[in-house]
Chains A and B, each alone.
Chain A
Amino acid sequence: MNRLELRHVRKAFGGLDVLADISLNVGAGEFVSILGPSGAGKSTLFQILTGAEHGHGEMLFDGAPLDDHGRHFAFMPQRDALMPWRRIIDNTTLGLEVQGVRRKAARARVAPLFAEFGLAGFERHFPAQLSGGMRQRAALLRTVVQERDMLLLDEPFGALDALTRAALQRWLEQMWRHHRWTALLITHDVREALYLSDRIYVLSARPARIVREISVPLPRPRDPTAAASSRASALEAEILDILLNPQPSKGHDHD
């Protein structure tokens, strides 16, 4: 069953088309990625979903028009956006506090999750005392405890070094298998998208349109060595080909 459904969503900033035509859907418990070149307007799509920007087109959630944006989505921004002045535990309860949950109750809800997120013992630390990978896990914890219908992940590992990123991708895939969050991930990393997703939408350069929808039939758990398997590399080659050699017939030379 579809949770999120977008039909022909468009967005222009002062005459500049950013999103030309975006139609996609995300099913319950499905991990979907939007893969596209930098500057293609991927983040704009999230801004429209969260209500920060206004877009044209039809947007449905559970079949009903998307109106009260905040209610459905928990958003994880590109940088971890942890507040340097709050201890890790108070950073992770932020969303609950904004929802009106008492601080004590919020802490009680978050505390048992620290071990699973590899943060046990760091509850009272400040963000500056944590490594980049730990900060990102804290940011994800802050996102998931909001218990919204769907996670919006905006290049969550983009700012990390390659090794940390690979470790976190594995970890996230594992976490996802346990929790089966409905998630929409923005990324420009083909391998990341293949490793994590059930389906991938490939975006063109600006003005962005969906050029291909690709299902990823790789078995889970996604064994990292399987990523090197012929199926995965065939998919990777196919996606790279789409991204690097845009069809001239469809090409819109707006860049």
Chain B
Amino acid sequence: MSVGLLLVAWELYANHSGIKPTVLPAPSRVFEQAILNREALVDNAIPTIRATLLGFACSLSAAFALSILVDFFRPLRRALFPVFIVSQTLPLVAIAPLVVLWFGFGLAPKIMLVALVTFFPMLVALVQGYEATEVEIGQMLRTMGAGRWRVFVLARLPSALPYFFAGLRISITYAVVGAIFAEYAGAAKGLGIYMLNAKNNFRPDLVLAAVAVSAGLTLGLFGLTVLLQRIAMPWERAGREPPGTGPRE
């Protein structure tokens, strides 16, 4: 709704203020150009999607493995977290060109950058999620004779699921931005390099068309995480329904 209003205002301003379309194209023009250039856009979106998903898969596996280690060996947490926090303060503008310089124009630097921006949020989400396990559940499991690993699998891991999905929703948006940034710093193909080329050719309409594609991509991935959460956590929705009308107390 608010997006629609904004688009209408933008359209009116671009058409009636006399501003040149090479400075601010109207949304209708962006849309028109996006259709005209759809093949190029799709062609460039594919490497971006690939980098996003591969990078995210890497950071997710690493964050998961490390979160388990950290959960079992507390001192590791204090030793490692400062390093990760610093890794989050590195400005992408500075890091992206360097990573491209070191690892070339291929897929590797993109995966690394996506992993860099998504790894820490996922790790923190998981570690916090384990900590959120109800104390009584842990105690009870131990009286049942469960060892540390059983307690982890039966209680700590499922307890972390809501945190995991919260982290996933945030990280997936970072991931797309990270991939585009990496491409911007140097790539043969991809939305990032497409935007850069369009800008250099004085085609803001094509820049905006690429932005729209990346926004759609992010929204799509976000929607996917919401869907995944629904499938993975059926009890969450069940809990929101009115309690079963059952035997009296």
- Tell me whether B238 and A125 are in contact (CB under 8 A): yes
- Contacts A81-B134, A81-B137: A50 and B243 contacting too (C-beta < 8 A)? no
- Contacts A83-B158, A84-B239: A98 and B247 contacting too (C-beta < 8 A)? no
- Tell me whether B143 and A129 are in contact (CB under 8 A): no
Tell me, in angstroms, the Cα distance from A52 to B243 when the chains sit together.
Answer: 35
Interface residues of A (CB under 8 A from B): 47, 50-52, 69-71, 73-79, 81, 83-85, 94-95, 98-99, 118-122, 125-131, 133-134, 146, 152, 163-164, 167-168
| 18 sampled A-B residue pairs with Cβ under 8 A | A51-B142, A51-B143, A75-B144, A81-B139, A83-B137, A83-B158, A84-B239, A85-B161, A85-B233, A95-B144, A98-B141, A98-B145, A99-B144, A122-B244, A127-B235, A130-B243, A130-B244, A146-B144
Residues of B within 8 A of A83 (CB): 137, 154-155, 158
Q: Which residue of B lies closest to A97 (CB)?
A: B154
Interface size class of B (residues with CB under 8 A): 20 to 34
A150 → chain B closest CB, angstroms? 12
Q: Which of A98, A127, A128, A134 contacts B144 (CB 8 A)?
A: A98
A181 → chain B closest CB, angstroms? 16
Interface residues of B in 146-184 (CB under 8 A from A): 146, 150, 154-155, 158, 161
A171 → chain B closest CB, angstroms? 9
Interface residues of B in 227-249 (CB under 8 A from A): 233-235, 238-239, 241, 243-244, 246-247, 249
Q: Is B140 an interface residue (CB 8 A)?
A: yes
- Tell me whether B139 and A129 are in contact (CB under 8 A): no
Interface residues of B (CB under 8 A from A): 134, 136-137, 139-146, 150, 154-155, 158, 161, 233-235, 238-239, 241, 243-244, 246-247, 249
Known: A84-B235, A128-B235, A130-B244. 15 other contacts (CB 8 A): A70-B142, A70-B145, A71-B145, A79-B136, A85-B161, A98-B150, A98-B154, A125-B238, A125-B244, A126-B239, A129-B239, A129-B243, A131-B249, A134-B246, A168-B249
Residues of A within 8 A of B154 (CB): 83, 94, 98
- Tell me whether B238 and A126 are in contact (CB under 8 A): yes
- Tell me whether A77 and B238 are in contact (CB under 8 A): no
B155 → chain A closest CB, angstroms? 7
Tell me, in angstroms, the Cα distance from A83 to B139 when the chains sit together.
Answer: 13
- Tell me whether A85 and B158 are in contact (CB under 8 A): yes
A74 → chain B closest CB, angstroms? 8
- Tell me whether B161 and A75 are in contact (CB under 8 A): no
- Tell me whether B143 and A75 are in contact (CB under 8 A): yes
Tell me, in angstroms, the Cα distance from A65 to B234 when the chains sit together.
Answer: 46
Q: Which of A70, A79, A128 contacts B239 (CB 8 A)?
A: A128
Q: Which residue of B lies closest to A132 (CB)?
A: B249
A190 → chain B closest CB, angstroms? 22
Tell me, in angstroms, the Cα distance from A248 to B224 when the chains sit together.
Answer: 68
- Tell me whether B140 and A75 are in contact (CB under 8 A): yes
Residues of B within 8 A of A74 (CB): 143
